[in-house]
Structure 1
Amino acid sequence: MKKLFSTRYTIMLLSVIGLGLLTVSCDDDPIPLRDPNAEAGPELKYTWAQTADSLQLSTYNNYLGSNGTFVQNNAGNGTFNYWPNAHVLDVLVDGYLRTGDDNYKTKMKALLQGIKVKNGNTYNNVFNDDMLWLANSSLRAYSATNDQEYKDVADYLWERIKLSWSDNVFGGGITWKQDTPKQKNAVSNAPAAILALRLYEIDNDPDDLVWAKKIYAWQKANLVDPVSGAVWDNISEVNGTVVTNKDWVFTYNMGTWIGAGLRLYKATNEQGYLDDAVKSGRTVLTSPKLVSEGLLRDEGQGDGGLFKGILVRYFTELAQHPTINATDKEKFTDFLEFNAQSFYRKGILRPTMLSGNNWKVAPAAGASVDLTTQLSGVMLIEAAAKLDKDGFFD
């Protein structure tokens, strides 16, 4: 990721400075699931599917730009950014899977083709993570529609991404960008393992499983805390010294690591992969770098606005996994339900249905809301609609 208003890492650094002050919680103590703004009154009925419909419509009406793509914010900035548009495709797939409405298919196809047009008539991008987001969402679209065009895009991107693996720098790993051989990030590796495993499930090509295993093993050895399962953001060489950035622990990296572990467990039936995912999932519930008062932390707008939604996507898979123990399943589901209820009650500006980046504070009327921030809200409510339909919510 990069790059909406200032560099990603400038934004992150400011976030980390703030997070560094939050040291009063022990990582082993669960943060209570409570809403500090709770009000007494009649029990609220949560209309998850209807609210998902409204958020989807608001996103389309407020952010649609040219060529079927979506713009940076709702306040007149018409900039096209590759990676949030890749996640719009994911969100449209969510809507299609939930409703079966063919209007979503029309929007999905226009977006896929529009991304290529807006990106200079190519899907190639210097940022490997950007291509990974699009490849993964394209495979979800392919699985939902059986439209070969989505699969062709994913296959093309996967071949490009693999070129950025190198054994001679840090012992492996995929670079963050095609032109940064000495910087390798969590965001360019766990999503690559997920992509390889999605392809393996479709094509049954053993080479894809080999790729997934080696990417996962490299990330586990270099960018994952062996005790807590917290995911460190990157490893790089700075002035001849190799530095692992262990201070930056972000929600989206936790999500993709969990997603990779779940898929490797499915592909191999090796318990260690599932254990890794559960360990990291438990840390999501307890780490003050990730949560505050039971809610996923406010990571701002810009790039950070999308991070929570990405975690929710994969954390939902973990909560629904059939073989995790009942205690973990209940804790994970309760956590997602508390976040969704808080956002539903406090974080949505009605009637415009715009998302707040702090899930217990709605945007002010007339405020600028980034596409990234809006998408996280849609992802959360789509996840809640799925969990509710599948009987996971009370």
Structure 2
Amino acid sequence: MRFKTITAFSASLLMMASCGASHKATVANDAFAVYDSFNTVFLDSAKYIYKNTTKDEAAVDRWNGAAAIWCQPMYADMAMNAMLLARKNGDKENEAKYRDLSNKIIDGNIAHYLNFDFDNNDTNKGWFIYDDIQWWTITMARAAQVLGREDCRELAEKSFARVWYGSPRVGDTGSYADPAKGLGGGMFWQWQPLEKPNANAADHGKMSCINFPTVVAAMLLYDVAPENRAADPNPEKWTNNYGDFVRPHYETKGRYLEMAKEIYDWASENLGDMQTGMISDSSHGGHRGGHPLIYNQGTFIGAGALLYLATGDKRYLDNAKAGADYSINVMSAENGVLPWARNHKNPYDQGSLEQGVYPAIWAQYMDILINDCGQDQYREFIADNVRQGVSNRNGAGICDGEMDKKTPDDVLVGSYAASSLPSLMLLFPEYNKEEKK
């Protein structure tokens, strides 16, 4: 009798495990289906970079159908997230499929953007603003982690150094606002003019979109840097009208952590309100300004979460949670869904279209806060966004960025806003209340 009871109990456990595995496969397949629809519509499979909108037949270049250089890395992240979701569920077929896609997207972007020569400031296929480069630093560091690509780690370290220290070829003075040089701390957003830049000055713009991504980039490089690496013995050196410059090819592991902490502390004080969790868009001459944007909330959340995981300092986690709370309780309060900051007076302006990628960036860093830092209280908000987005797709399986509204079949949709739903689903595939029970 005891044997029969144990056997029956074991069979029950097996059935429960089987149901759990079946459920995981179902919700993952939902996510893959939405993601595959996104790729069918927007991926230029001849080049493996993404198109700008549904009206574009090919991603030729910046001026002809290609999505913005700074948004392409978000799409590479999506492919890696699909691979990781398949791996988590033991789905070897889809893991191989999305690994291959991840590599093709990364290689396609490297080929298109001048072999990632970060000192080439060509405004069509090159690099002309600091945060564009730093977004790619983050994704290349992730590719080193997720895909094991050593070439991507080397590219990430090159791009980080180019942002921080400047370029001998371009002649800019670098994004880092060195306090020792009277520049006040933090990271500058741009160099101007693009061809023959002036030196940055303390009152120039220091945006959230370069400061918090710099923290994230430094933390990811801290993770992938060799443990016992010594400082670069042969850094690049040059002299121009603004002084003498030194640019290491890479930093030590400890130095990346120091850089992350320094920029985080400056940016939190000068761009953020740690009581409310609100992140301002920019600081000019010590005066913060600009309304909060969901992608800046996201990178602030990610910066704090990564520093917490590395140091155990609860201050970073508390700040990250405050940023998430503000994102949801204040910024998303009107309609209960993540806000797309488009200009409704001119929704098809390129700058307005690109803002559609903001929720995908936020999702990337909420993944760290929820799944790595154990903050499950935010899952239901995301699940509700996904449920609305899934029900409001058009005939091509695409949902525009406003997930509480039906996407018509005949409206122009940017790849940016359309990335919101698949990005959320690949990171948080559990969204159906009935199935979860």
Q: Same fold (TM over 0.5)?
A: yes
Tell me how far 1:104 sits from its aligned partner: 2.1
Task: Pick one of 334, 356, 362 that aligns with 1:311.
Answer: 362
User: Which residue of 2 is the match for residue 273 of structure 1?
Assistant: 316
Is the Cα contact below 8 Å between 1:251 and 1:308 reproduced in 2?
Answer: yes
User: Which residue of 2 is the match for residue 297 of structure 1?
Assistant: 339
User: Secondary structure of 2:206's partner?
Assistant: strand
CA-to-aligned-CA distance 1:293-328 (integer Å, 9 cap, x gap): 32112323512100011112212322335465xxxx
Give, in whole Å, the separation in 2 of the partners of 1:307 and 1:383.
15
User: Which residue of 2 is the match for residue 38 of structure 1?
Assistant: none
Give, in whole Å, the separation in 2 of the partners of 1:127 and 1:116.
17
Is the Cα contact below 8 Å between 2:400 and 2:418 reproduced in 1?
Answer: yes
User: Which residue of 1 is the match for residue 184 of structure 2?
Assistant: 171
Give, in whole Å, the separation in 2 of the partners of 1:304 and 1:48.
28
Letter aligned with residue 284 of structure 2? S
The count of aligned residue pairs is: 334
CA-to-aligned-CA distance 1:228-260 (integer Å, 9 cap, x gap): 1100001124xxxx5321x41000100110111
Q: Is 1:143 matched up with 2:189?
A: no
Q: Is 1:87 matched up with 2:74?
A: yes
User: Which residue of 2 is the match for residue 333 of structure 1?
Assistant: 379
Is the Cα contact below 8 Å between 1:96 and 1:105 reproduced in 2?
Answer: yes
Tell me the percent identity: 21
Which structure 2 segments of 5+ residues have no match? 1-23, 60-64, 88-94, 119-126, 166-174, 194-199, 228-252, 343-351
CA-to-aligned-CA distance 1:263-321 (integer Å, 9 cap, x gap): 1111111111111111112212221x444232112323512100011112212322335
Tell me how far 1:198 sits from its aligned partner: 1.1
Q: Which has the higher contact order (CA 8 A, sep 6+)?
A: 1
Give, in whole Å, the separation in 1 of the partners of 2:366 and 2:417.
18
Provide closer, same or farther for how the CA distance between residues 185 and 292 of structure 1 changes in structure 2, counting only shifts above 3 A.
same
Give, in whole Å, the separation in 1 of the partners of 2:96 and 2:337.
34
User: Which residue of 2 is the match for residue 127 of structure 1?
Assistant: 129
User: Secondary structure of 2:420's partner?
Assistant: helix
Is the Cα contact below 8 Å between 1:299 and 1:357 reproduced in 2?
Answer: no
Is the Cα contact below 8 Å between 1:83 and 1:131 reproduced in 2?
Answer: yes
Is the Cα contact below 8 Å between 2:205 and 2:282 reproduced in 1?
Answer: yes
User: Which residue of 2 is the match for residue 187 of structure 1?
Assistant: 209
CA-to-aligned-CA distance 1:64-114 (integer Å, 9 cap, x gap): 224221111121264222112111110010111112422323322232232
Give, in whole Å, the separation in 1 of the partners of 2:80 and 2:154.
17
Give, in whole Å, the separation in 2 of the partners of 1:169 and 1:355.
48
CA-to-aligned-CA distance 1:348-368 (integer Å, 9 cap, x gap): 223x11121211123211322
Is the Cα contact below 8 Å between 2:28 and 2:86 reproduced in 1?
Answer: no
Moved more, 100-109 or 90-99: 100-109
Q: TM-score, normalised by structure 1?
A: 0.78
Tell me how far 1:46 sits from its aligned partner: 11
Letter aligned with residue 149 of structure 1? D
Task: Pick one of 397, 420, 423 that aligns with 1:379.
Answer: 423
User: Which residue of 1 is the match for residue 4 of structure 2?
Assistant: none
Is the Cα contact below 8 Å between 2:42 and 2:415 reproduced in 1?
Answer: yes
Give, in whole Å, the separation in 1 of the partners of 2:157 and 2:307.
20
Which structure 1 segments of 5+ residues have no match? 1-44
User: Which residue of 2 is the match for residue 107 of structure 1?
Assistant: 101
Is the Cα contact below 8 Å between 2:335 and 2:404 reproduced in 1?
Answer: no
User: Which residue of 1 is the match for residue 221 of structure 2?
Assistant: 199
Is the Cα contact below 8 Å between 2:306 and 2:368 reproduced in 1?
Answer: no
User: Which residue of 1 is the match for residue 246 of structure 2?
Assistant: none
Show structure 1 runs of 4+ deviating over 6 A.
none
Q: Is 1:249 matched up with 2:295?
A: no
Specify the structure having the higher radius of gyration (Cα): 2
User: Which residue of 1 is the match for residue 275 of structure 2?
Assistant: 227
Letter aligned with residue 408 of structure 2? A
Provide closer, same or farther for how the CA distance between residues 159 and 285 of structure 1 changes in structure 2, counting only shifts above 3 A.
same
Is the Cα contact below 8 Å between 1:83 and 1:133 reproduced in 2?
Answer: yes
Tell me how far 1:191 sits from its aligned partner: 1.1
CA-to-aligned-CA distance 1:343-384 (integer Å, 9 cap, x gap): 1222x223x111212111232113221111121221011122
Q: Is 1:116 matched up with 2:103?
A: no
Is the Cα contact below 8 Å between 1:131 and 1:161 reproduced in 2?
Answer: yes
Provide closer, same or farther for how the CA distance between residues 206 and 334 of structure 1 changes in structure 2, counting only shifts above 3 A.
same
Task: Pick one of 23, 29, 32 that aligns with 1:50.
Answer: 29
Give, in whole Å, the separation in 2 of the partners of 1:122 and 1:105.
21
